[in-house]
Chains A and B, each alone.
Chain A
Amino acid sequence: MKKQIYCVNNRESCLNFTAGVVDSLRIKNSASTTVRVYDNGFIGVSGASGNCDQAELEKKAIASLENKVPYPAEKSEPSEIKIDLRKEIIKKSELVDKCKALVKEVAESNPEFILSGKFAVSDDETTFRDSDGVNYSCATSVFSAYFVAKHKDSANIMDEVYEVSDDKFEPEKIASDAKTLFDAYLAKADMPEEEKPIFITDPSVVSYLVNGFVAELYCSGASVLNGKLGKKVFSDKFSLVCNRNPEETLGATFFDGEGVVSKDYKSYLVEKGVMKKLLTTKKSAQTFGVENSGTASSPFASVPTLGAEGLSVEATDEDVQALIGDKKAIYVTTSSGGDMTPTGEIGLPVQCAYLFENGKLVGRLPEFSISCNVFDILGDDYIGACKKCVKNAGREKYLVFRAKAVNVK
């Protein structure tokens, strides 16, 4: 009988601030253990939070084999890898004072806004062991913060959000970035007059496409990417990858929920415009006879399920200037509520965006919607992806493409 043990430990300190005043500290220590056993083509699972008796969990997992949930059990090669990137991003004793000082500085630099938000510092450790001799461990530290800004004269519940996450705390850069953004909010700008202006967005617009890679949907003909596996679908410059390298993807675990480690910790769904893979677990890869993408997740006390941790668009250039030169562009910071039709038509309401010119934010644009087709913005209208644009702190990436702006308010 094959056995797997998947454990997650999390320690987090989180500060909340409201209207420019730090008003709470939350301390969270959590641990969870999931045990899976495989026998006669079936899987049994159990799990517990906090301290647990693993022998007891194993007994429960064996008992749950009675539920007859089919799952393949492949023999693993013995392997041991440990990556520990944990570090003290902010000294525990200084966390409250340093964050209070940063909130004070950002609030004083941006007196036109009421600021609320959170700072969080977390250490996570994930381990995977199996009865074939696999023993993996990955530990990371992450700092994250967001400032929700509401203009003092505004009747909206929020007007702009500045977010940052990194494995270091750089208060000067955060304060400077926040001021750049909030200053730009105060200036007004006109929409570029081109029929298809250049957009700079976070890569989340790609998320509309992700369902199309799910093996069950693709193989049942219900994917927007039907018939495209192995074919050139997108621009040569477009690569979509699940990058689990914790040195490159903040907080990532280098192995998936089933202990699969991809080459260089990366699994390409699209490489240079060619659709390379479907998203699978070991089970769905076997069911549909396709390559396993190594992207399973391991929810608490659950059979492995499909995931896409570390999903990112590969950068084509370091800096946005290399992609657009001195051309005007629209830098989108808030766009929510959009969706895609089964033929790939995207309607994406944009709540906050700025005119971007010569490497700088010029001013805030009126609300509008992006209207495009996913195969166009990642095809002929795709310009590239970069790591640097407006912010100096954090590890964001930016997608750059042309599309129509409609319903300009």
Chain B
Amino acid sequence: MFKFRKGFYADIRIEDRFTTNISYKNSVAEQCREISEKKAFIRVFDGKMWYYASTDNADNAQEELDNLYAYATPDNDVENNPAIKILETNKDCVMRFENNCVKNVPLEEKRDFVQKTAAKFVSEHCSLVIAHYLDRYSVYEFYSSKGADIKYDFQTSGSVFSMSFANKGENFSDAIQKSGTAFDDVKVSDKEIEEFIKESENVLLNAKKLENPGTYPVVLAPIVTGVFAHESFGHKSEADFMLGDETMAKEWTMGKQVASELLSIVDSGTYDGSGYVPYDDEGTKCNYTYLIKDGVLAGRLHNATTAAYLGEKLTGNARAINCGYEPIVRMTTTVIKGGNSTVEELIAGIKHGYYIKNCKHGSGMSTFTIAPNVAYEIVDGKIGDPVKIAVLTGNVFETLGDIDGVANDETVLTFVTGGCGKMEQFPLNVGMGGPHIRVKKMNVQ
């Protein structure tokens, strides 16, 4: 299909992306659009440097490839470069969503759903309801000079209903999101709406100020566990941080005890939803990679360059946010594996601590952070009043060692808003999740 030249490695990635975006504010339409875009990203490697081109016109990919060759110098031995040698040459076509494609659901039907569902979000304390419906159907193609020839599709669909509450100078906002891989997955039941509003009103009217910031035991709900896994350890597992760094290579030796033996974390593109990546953007088939198994360092995430540098296997984690960028090492769906305890047992073991039900965002370096949105005090082993907490922090490795309870309710979550950021590339669709976990101590502020 494409004409590749000798003396270079080259690949071409094409994405044909369809998206729908519908939003309503207080039952008035704000946005209602469908967009289709087809773009391409081309890479050429000459054994010394990579040359990349991004184009809005995928039909011009061959011309862009030919132009890019002009920057590079041919090397007849390029195929023996370690990073090129290990690249896979898969030939596959994985079209899972053609028969259930969101493109085929009429815009009118999507709009009616948003409008009718949004009308159910009513509270005497709420004066702003924002409703979103978002979907995406992408068809990816990947071709390489080594012979890779891959086509697959990807689909997500979701609804988000956010409410802003106010009462006597106090305010509070929260949202309920339902996401999946088909239009039917976005529906929100009346019971879910009722419970969401009831809890939000309780937080608005009864949340206490955090009287004594300090160190406390905490229980994290699955969404917060997912953010914690992603921020605290997922980013540290991205092996591009280890390039040219002997200290890191020694520090991160496989088999080293890095966490409580209750903890196992995996990353895999096989999970359905926002982190579904059957083939990465270098054409590598997805894997199921244990990052930590029973507290022991078991793996890390690679693109071809990092895998070749460290002499490890490819994992399928070379990803770009779109055809404007080159693939770099990124997570797919990162999950803390479930344990044997019940949620009640985790909470019952706490004299005074906090239950973090959901959060606005998180970050992770040597210290990780989580900004709770809904949190409760735990007193004498029982959930108490809602409480206002700005941020939870902790040293990553101390906290991984301080996990002393893992529940049996592992939940994998998919999203249609937000995403992962790494340097210039934001947002990347990822999945995350886990069970309820208990941490002996975290800094609560």
Contact = CB atoms under 8 A, between A and B. Distances in A.
Nearest to B38: A49
B366 A337 contact: no
B175 interface: no
Contact of B35 (A118, A227, A301, A407): A301
Given A339-B371, A349-B367, A29 B50 contact: no
B392 to A, nearest CB: 9
A224 B28 contact: no
Contacts of B105: none
A264 interface: no
B243 interface: yes
A28 B53 contact: yes
B32 A69 contact: yes
Interface stretch (A75-83, A150-158, A245-253): A150-158
A338 B371 CA distance: 7
A334 B241 CA distance: 18
A337 B247 contact: no
Interface residues of A, number: 74
Given A25-B49, A64-B33, A114-B245, A337 B368 contact: yes
Interface in B127-180: 127-128, 130, 164-166, 169-173
A64 B365 CA distance: 46
A69 B326 CA distance: 37
B161 to A, nearest CB: 15
A110 interface: no
Contact of A30 (B32, B54, B362, B363): B54
Contacts of A22: 49
B390 interface: yes
A369 B165 CA distance: 29
Given A19-B244, A155-B247, A25 B172 contact: no
Given A70-B29, A337-B371, A339-B361, A23 B171 contact: no
Nearest to B396: A156
Contacts of A30: 54, 56, 324
Interface residues of B, number: 74
Contacts of A216: 25, 128, 130, 164
Contacts of A16: 326
Interface stretch (A129-137, A230-238, A340-348): A340-348
Given A220-B164, A343-B388, A27 B53 contact: yes
Contact of B127 (A32, A154, A222, A367): A222
A35 interface: no
B365 A26 contact: no
A26 B243 contact: no
A341 to B, nearest CB: 5
A157 B232 CA distance: 12
A369 B53 contact: no
Given A22-B49, A114-B245, A152-B245, A221 B127 contact: yes
Nearest to A283: B30
A23 B32 contact: no
Contacts of A69: 29-32
B285 interface: no
A310 interface: no
A29 B391 CA distance: 41
A363 interface: no
Contacts of A223: 171
A23 B388 contact: no
A61 to B, nearest CB: 10
A220 B126 CA distance: 8
Interface string A371-409: 100000000000000000000000000000000001101
Contacts of B166: 220-222, 226
B388 A157 contact: no
B107 interface: yes
Interface string A144-163: 00101010111111100000
A132 to B, nearest CB: 24
B33 A302 contact: yes
A153 B247 contact: yes
B35 A300 contact: yes
Contacts of B53: 26-28
A68 B165 CA distance: 28
Given A118-B423, A155-B248, A339 B390 contact: yes
Nearest to B51: A25
A45 B30 CA distance: 12
B368 A18 contact: no
A24 B52 contact: yes
A288 to B, nearest CB: 11
Contacts of B127: 220-222
A20 interface: yes
Give the top 10 A-B pairs by smallest Cβ distance, nearest first: A337-B369, A19-B244, A50-B56, A347-B390, A337-B363, A221-B166, A339-B371, A222-B164, A220-B127, A347-B391
27 contacts: A19-B245, A24-B49, A26-B325, A29-B54, A29-B56, A49-B56, A67-B32, A118-B423, A146-B423, A152-B246, A220-B164, A222-B127, A222-B128, A226-B169, A302-B21, A302-B33, A303-B31, A305-B31, A336-B363, A337-B371, A338-B391, A339-B361, A341-B388, A345-B390, A349-B391, A351-B365, A407-B445
